[in-house]
Amino acid sequence: AQSVTQLDSQVPVFEEAPVELRCNYSSSVSVYLFWYVQYPNQGLQLLLKYLSGSTLVKGINGFEAEFNKSQTSFHLRKPSVHISDTAEYFCAVNRWGGSNYKLTFGKGTLLTVNP
């Protein structure tokens, strides 16, 4: 079985500050990793994904994440946040092969960007 732990339920930051949202996963096999964002009163949309290759993945809106296999982490970063980045962010994992369609999500991190 696989699991995802998002270490911070809420992260308040000031506008233009850097931010890191932490995600750790547990799986006995190789995985695909995702970050989704949910803006207020909207559905989830994909920010970025790691399938294979380069461990540094760039996504939309200036976000990036780094896959670290030894630490089983996939932390999300942005060097300078905007008010419009206020949203809930979900990390998700999907294992390779077999019944690999079942995305397992973390509990989410609420990012609040203050002026």
Partner 1 sequence: GAGVSQSPSNKVTEKGKDVELRCDPISGHTALYWYRQRLGQGLEFLIYFQGNSAPDKSGLPSDRFSAERTGESVSTLTIQRTQQEDSAVYLCASSPLAGAGELFFGEGSRLTVL
Cβ-contact 103, 92 below 8 angstroms:
yes
Nearer to partner 1, 13 or 103 (CB): 103
C-alpha distances in angstroms, 8 versus 20, 30, 33, 110?
Answer: 10, 25, 18, 8
Task: Read off the tokens for 103.
Answer: 């995305």
Residue 1: which residues within 8 A CB-CB, separation 6 or more?
A: none
Q: State which of residues 61, 68, 100, 114 lies at the interface with partner 1 (CB under 8 A).
A: 100
Nearer to partner 1, 11 or 44 (CB): 44
Residue 106 touches partner 1, criterion: CB under 8 A: yes
Residue 33 touches partner 1, criterion: CB under 8 A: no
How many residues touch partner 1 (CB under 8 A)? 25
Q: How far is the CB of 40 from partner 1 (least distance, A)?
A: 11
Residue 10 touches partner 1, criterion: CB under 8 A: no
Q: Identify the three-state secondary structure at position 22.
A: coil
Q: What CA dihedral angle connects 95, 110, 38 and 53, to 10 degrees?
A: -40
Nearer to partner 1, 1 or 70 (CB): 1
Chain positions contacting partner 1, by CB under 8 A: 4, 9, 32, 36, 41-46, 49, 51, 90, 92, 94, 99-108
